[in-house]
Amino acid sequence: MTERERFLATMRYAERDRCPIVDFSFWEETIPEWHSQGLPGHVQISSTDEFFGMDSLGESAPIHNSLFPGFEEIVLEDLGEEVIKRDWEGVTYRTQKTMRSIPLYLDHTLKDRESWEKEFLHRLDPNAVGRVGTDFAKKLPALNSPDQSRLVTVSGGSLYGWIRDWMGVEGASYLVYDDPDLFEEIVETLTALQVEVLQQVFASGLKVDVCTMWEDMCYSGGPLLTPSVFNRLLIPRYRRITDVLRANGVDFTWIDCDGKIDELIPGWLEAGINIMFPIEVGTWGGDPVAMRKKFGKDLRLMGGFSKHVLTKGPKEIAAEVDRLTPLVEEGGFIPMPDHRVPPDVPYSHYLFYLLTIRERWGLGINLHPAPALQEVTR
């Protein structure tokens, strides 16, 4: 089976040779730390898939479905170990030069109707030339080739996550109450943009397997957006996006949302978003096994392997692999660490995890070679 066939068979609960073996990448600090623990110096984040013998999660069609153009990125102040920048989303933040974790946000360009109309609206024109442009056209033949063995994905963007990015959690929360019409107008603008861009993608003839959306609209305690607002304003608009997708043969839409998502899952399922990712375990105890039991097979899952278990040791890792294996065998579930692997995971533990999942979930069938495991014995 190709990676593409395997992924789709997994999500369709159909027969397959084995489960996809994938990961969720690593903190930037993890790789240098692992270099000191035996990871060869030539291995960088960009080459971990190859070194660890991972399947890919597909190839994404290059489209521009957000701010287009974005804001000019500028360094406002160099503070030595830290730096203050304004990024392409008009967000000013302070960050450590050597870390790539969430920075400290200082200011947001989007504050109110005036800044929306002046600074943002024109950057969200669905018909701006180049949203589905030359980069897309260049890649189209390869993506549509009969030899395309990888999953073909296209982004469906975000209806709340971008607002949160552009305004901050507090700003976005206040907006819902201070100017509900503007909040809805922004959500509608984002929806219309996604619908138009996807229609352009399908008009090109691209055969898409999965649409990828993201929201990051939850924290460890639950939704950042009030569920009644989510249900009223977002769900019907997600549905408009998934209607376009289904009309063009795309059965699966995954949503990347950290945090405690369980309260929002019924709404997403109702709207046709059917793969949840990454099922964070560490922050709220998300459990793919319990979620399948609660929501049934309509809910597909990716992620759900606690990265904190990876810090503990071989016994705990093996036990967690054992616990998840029946769900892996049932299908509709592609396990992987529940977020990027942090530097406090010992390299030896990760190698043990890798060896174990290749054996238990990969069944030793059609696996990519994993140079990392060449000298490892159990």
Partner 1 sequence: MDTQLLTSAIVAGNRKDAKALTEQALAEGLPPQEVLDSLIAGMDEIGGKFQRNEAFVPEMLIAARAMKEAMAVLEPVLLAAGIKPEFTAVIGTVQGDLHDIGKNLVAMMWRGANFSVVDLGTNVPPEKFVEAAREHQADLVGLSALLTTTMPSMKATIEALRSAELPKAKVMIGGAPITPEFAKEIGADGFAADAASAVTVARELVAG
Using CB under 8 A, list all residues that contact partner 1: 29, 94-96, 101-104, 169-170, 173-174, 176-177, 219-227, 229, 263, 282-283, 308, 342-344
Find the shortest distance in angstroms from Cβ 220 to partner 1: 4
Find the shortest distance in angstroms from Cβ 235 to partner 1: 16
* Contact present, 10 and 331 (Cβ < 8 Å): yes
Find the shortest distance in angstroms from Cβ 187 to partner 1: 14
Find the shortest distance in angstroms from Cβ 131 to partner 1: 31
Question: Which residue lies nearer to partner 1 by CB, 248 or 283?
Answer: 283
Measured between alpha carbons, how far is 65 from 136 in angstroms, rounded to an integer?
12
Find the shortest distance in angstroms from Cβ 375 to partner 1: 28
Which residue has 């069609």 as its token pair? 61
Stretch (H or E) spanning 266: helix 265-270
| 73-79 contacts at long range (C-beta below 8 A, 24 or more positions apart) | none
| CA separation, residue 208 to residues 56, 129, 154, 247 (Å) | 16, 22, 7, 12
DSSP H helices, 79-179, are 113-115, 134-144, 161-178
Question: Which residue lies nearer to partner 1 by CB, 270 or 344?
Answer: 344
Report residue 51 as tokens: 């070194």
Question: Which residue lies nearer to partner 1 by CB, 60 or 173?
Answer: 173
Question: Which residue lies nearer to partner 1 by CB, 128 or 229?
Answer: 229
Neighbours of 95 (CB within 10 A): 18
* Contact present, 151 and 4 (Cβ < 8 Å): yes
User: What 3-state DSSP class applies to 367?
Assistant: coil
Report residue 123 as tokens: 């950057």
**Residue 299 φ/ψ region, left for φ over 0, alpha for ψ in the -120 to 50 degree band, beta for the rest:** beta
Question: Which residue lies nearer to partner 1 by CB, 310 or 370?
Answer: 310
Find the shortest distance in angstroms from Cβ 332 to partner 1: 27
Question: Which residue lies nearer to partner 1 by CB, 44 or 173?
Answer: 173
